[in-house]
Every structure is written in structure tokens, then in C-alpha cells.
Amino acid sequence: MTEVVIVPNPAAGGALVADAIVALVQRRPDAVLGLATGSSPLPVYEALRPHAALLRDVRGFALDEYVGLPAGHPQSYRAVIEREVIGPLGLDPARVRVPGDDLPATGADHETSLAEAGERYEAAIAAARGVDLQLLGIGATGHIGFNEPGSSFASRTRVKTLTEQTRRDNARFFTAPDEVPLHCITQGLGTILAARHLVLLAFGAAKAEALAAAVEGPVTSSLPGSAIQLHGRVTVVVDDAAASAL
């Protein structure tokens, strides 16, 4: 079932989702959170700050990561997760994983290791007994994680090529457009659908079209976000502008 909650502003959406996470962690102190980067989940992380003491044993798995950025690059999703989530919420860095975070930095082993990084990530999620609550944003192409149009609904964590549009959209975070990596490693749509609860956040008019297509358009791999319609427990948190095409 998909529940759509329209909130007055992103902060109210963040508070609502933070309450759900707090309730989950009170039941299960070592809950497994699916973490997302991008601007959409930031109000959730902010609203969780006063509850940091509760979150000590929480485990986290990020949705996606760029491939090819130098270690420690401020725009790597590992760095973003450290800045926005691990640090302010006092999570244990060893309990938070990002796809590809176990790759040797360089050398001959790098390529082989990269090809198998997806399988290793899936195994780590399985060993943590799956994701309890997965946070999601949605891109202008309808992508979730970095699953661009055409991604299989059965896909699992793997290396992908970024579309030109997504590279352009994300160029604002880099000093030059060609600094945006060509590749990424992302959880697949099948990985995301295996989480027990999906929470999709979208704010602003720029998201209205992709959001409406994901929530009530045809279920199709040309709009990866529509995969959420195959899940039994989805909460969509939007402001009026993002809800305007529903």
C-alpha cells in the first residue's frame, strides 16, 4: 500500500519521518536504516539530531556512491554521509556502509574488486538481516538511487554509467562539470524493494512530474521510481508543490 502524506514544508516532512525512525529504533535499537544522499532526506537527518543518543546501535546502508572520485573527496557519498548523518547523529562509522567502500584505492586488484563489490554489498545487507526503513529521493529522470531509466526491477547492487542529465543535475556540487564521475555503484531496484518499509521524500515543483509518474503512472522500467508501486509498504512524503501533479 502507498500512503501519500502532504506536509506544509520540508521541515514538517523531516519531523514526521524522524518520528517514524525513532519509533522503529525504540522497538529495535539496532535497526537497519537505508540512507539516501541528495537534498530530499536532509530534513530527516536534521530532525533526528535531538535523538542522537537513541541511535548509537543503528546500522546504515547507503543507496549509492560515485565510482572514481579520489578517496575523501568532499562530494563522495561516503563523505556526505559522514558530514550529514554519521557525525551529527553520532552513529558508529563502522556500522554504516556505502557501496564500494571496501575497494582497494588503486592497483591491479581494483577492477576485479569493483566488479564484485555489488555482491559483497548485498551479502553485507543480508548479514544485517535486511533494511528496516529505506529513505529515498527521486531524480528528475525518475531515478531512485542511481537506477536510471531502463534499470531492471530485479536489479541488485552493481556498477552503472550515469546519464548525461544526471551528471548535469549533479554538476552543481562540483567545481567543473567534467569533474562529475562517469560511473556509480548503486543498490538495484530489487535491492530497494527488499527493504521492509520505503519512505520517499520529494519537495518542490521540479519533482512534481517524476513524483506523479512514480506514484500513479504505469509501472515501467522507463520510470524507475514506479517500482515503489510493487512494494507493500510505502510512505510518500511531499509538499504541496511536489504533490501538484498527483
Residues in contact with ligand GLP by CB under 6 A are 36-40, 63-64, 137-139, 145-146, 166, 170
Would you say 41 or 217 has its CB closer to ligand GLP? 41
Would you say 89 or 138 has its CB closer to ligand GLP? 138
Min dist. Cβ of residue 158 to ligand GLP (A): 14
- CA atoms within a 13 Å half-sphere pointing along the CA-CB vector of 127: 9
Min dist. Cβ of residue 146 to ligand GLP (A): 5
* Alpha helices for the chain (secondary structure H): 10-27, 42-48, 77-81, 87-89, 109-127, 164-170, 189-193, 208-216
Between strands 183-186 and 64-67, the pairing is antiparallel
* Alpha helices for 141-238 (secondary structure H): 164-170, 189-193, 208-216
Min dist. Cβ of residue 162 to ligand GLP (A): 8
Would you say 37 or 122 has its CB closer to ligand GLP? 37
Going by C-alpha positions, the residue among 36, 58, 56 that lies closest to residue 192 is: 36
Would you say 14 or 137 has its CB closer to ligand GLP? 137
Q: Are 221 and 153 in contact (CB under 8 A)?
A: yes
Min dist. Cβ of residue 173 to ligand GLP (A): 9
